Amino acid sequence: MARFTLPRDIYHGKGSLEALKTFKGKKAMICVGGGSMKRFGFLDKAQSYLKEAGMEVSIFDGIEPDPSVETVMKGADAMMKFQPDWIVAIGGGSPIDAAKAMWIKYEYPDCTFEDMCKVFGIPELRKKAHFCAVSSTSGTATEVTAFSIITDYNKGIKYPIADFEITPDVAIVDPELAETMPKKLVAHTGMDAMTHAIEAYVSTANCDYTDPLAIHAIEMIMKDLIASYNGDMEARDRMHNAQCLAGMAFSNALLGIVHSMAHKTGAAFADYGAHIIHGAANAMYLPKVIAFNAKDETAKKRYGVIVDYMGIADKNASDDDKVSALITYLRKMNDELNIPHCIKNYGADSYPVENGFVPENVFLERLHDIAVNAIGDACTGSNPRQPSVEEMEKLLKCCYYDTEVDF
């Protein structure tokens, strides 16, 4: 038996933030990140709409990018004191992901972070509060997914929390919020969305319900991401829908080792002054993982179907040629979005440089542990080709040096 789960309501289109006026409850806690939602007036709007709905409102702000376990515990403590019956997370993936984890702890105070990380092991929520997610970036799609990513900085590892229980009750996909994204964020979140759609389509958990969402998302991203990056606001609006469709697909079809590797390398070199930003990591690793997965005949055929829909190779071409065309196309997208091709050339500001912020000797020292952690990541199990630790090490080396995957 399979399951397909989405939020009960998805409000979309310009001005859909106003849906908050219709919520019924007594207390709402808004969880928000840094300054952008305040700066552009969306936090004030959300607060006023909830007050118009007759609710007392409290704000938990300052959620950092790549939110920490400590932030989750602090937010849950604030919820326990305020006792909201609605949690409204507004912003990019970080505040929404953090709020999802806070929600678990609020409902189950004895639940530890380790308990949360047990895949599909979270007890029934909604005994205290319902959850609304309002996305401001066009990539993570956490507003419609059963996932949350939290970083344990003591270990330098990002952990995915995966359970249908944390799928929001309501998603608000208002493109006006996405129009405020800086250019670099457009690039990274857009390639995150492309990775979601491609990984969902070739996942071992794909099905008739997820395939159309993944394929249409790929077609939309192909058409609109570069234009959005270059300032076309109509394309930006469509990208906000495309990333949400990709999210619906991967939340139910799951992901693969592009994400496993991104989770386990993202904070692994934080002591050298930077993170490998999640969307950029996905963009760099995706072509390598496609080459690795294409050694599996079923995956190769499904990549070929993606290429047929994209129209970037002759339909009569071999599947091998189609896979090559897909890899070439994605690398060209990275070039147009100013994303490096490998960790070696990944600068601390995420832009391509000759010598990136991760020294070669440090990467090689940490390689084995990163590979072991990536194998153990929640996303690995649904990858179409299961790598050994040795193969994961070789694949990570290809992602460091930008060398060909021939195994």
Closest CA to 34 of 54, 68, 61: 61
User: What pLDDT sits at residue 35?
Assistant: 85
* Interaxial angle between packed helices 211-229 and 233-253, expressed in degrees from 0 to 180 and rounded to the nearest 10: 150
Distance of alpha carbon 123 from its chain centroid, rounded? Answer: 23
For the stretch 140-187, pLDDT in tens is 999 999 999 999 999 888 899 999 999 999 999 999 999 999 999 999
Q: Beta strand 170-173 with 130-135: parallel, antiparallel or unpaired?
A: parallel
* Interaxial angle between packed helices 278-293 and 389-401, expressed in degrees from 0 to 180 and rounded to the nearest 10: 120
For the stretch 177-235, pLDDT in tens is 999 999 999 999 999 999 999 999 999 999 999 999 999 999 999 999 999 999 999 99
Q: Distance between CA 224 and CA 236 in Å, rounded?
A: 7
Q: Which residue has the tokens 């990019």?
A: 92
Strand order in the sheet with 27-32: 9-12, 170-173, 130-135, 86-91, 27-32, 56-60
Tokens standing for 79?
């919820």
User: What pLDDT sits at residue 156?
Assistant: 86
Q: Which residue has the tokens 């979005």?
A: 337
DSSP 3-state of 149: strand
Sorted by where each starts, the structural domains of the chain and their CATH numbers stand as 9-178 (3.40.50.1970), 191-401 (1.20.1090.10)
DSSP 3-state of 51: helix
For the stretch 243-257, pLDDT in tens is 999 999 999 999 999
53 neighbors 97 (Cβ within 8 angstroms):
no
In terms of Cβ atoms closer than 10 Å to its own Cβ (0-12, 13-18, 19+), residue 365 is exposed
Q: What does the DSSP 8-state code read for residue 154? A: T
User: What pLDDT sits at residue 101?
Assistant: 98
User: What pLDDT sits at residue 40?
Assistant: 94
CB atoms within 10 A of CB 14: 12
pTM of the predicted model as reported, rounded to 2 decimal places: 0.96
Q: Beta strand 147-152 with 157-162: parallel, antiparallel or unpaired?
A: antiparallel
Tokens standing for 303?
């990549």
* Residue 240 amino acid letter: H
Strand partners, 88: 30, 132
Closest CA to 131 of 93, 167, 82, 92: 167
Tokens standing for 125?
């929520």
Q: What does the DSSP 8-state code read for residue 256? A: -
- Alpha helices by DSSP H, listed for 230-296, are 233-253, 257-266, 278-293
Q: Which residues contact 194 (CB under 8 A, 6 or more apart)?
A: 218, 221, 225, 246, 283, 286, 330, 333
Closest CA to 284 of 259, 309, 247: 259
292 neighbors 384 (Cβ within 8 angstroms):
no
Tokens standing for 290?
């496609």
Which residues, given as ranges, of the chain have pLDDT below 50? Answer: none
99 neighbors 143 (Cβ within 8 angstroms):
no
H or E element in which residue 9 lies: strand 9-12
Q: Which residues contact 289 (CB under 8 A, 6 or more apart)?
A: 256, 257, 258, 261, 395
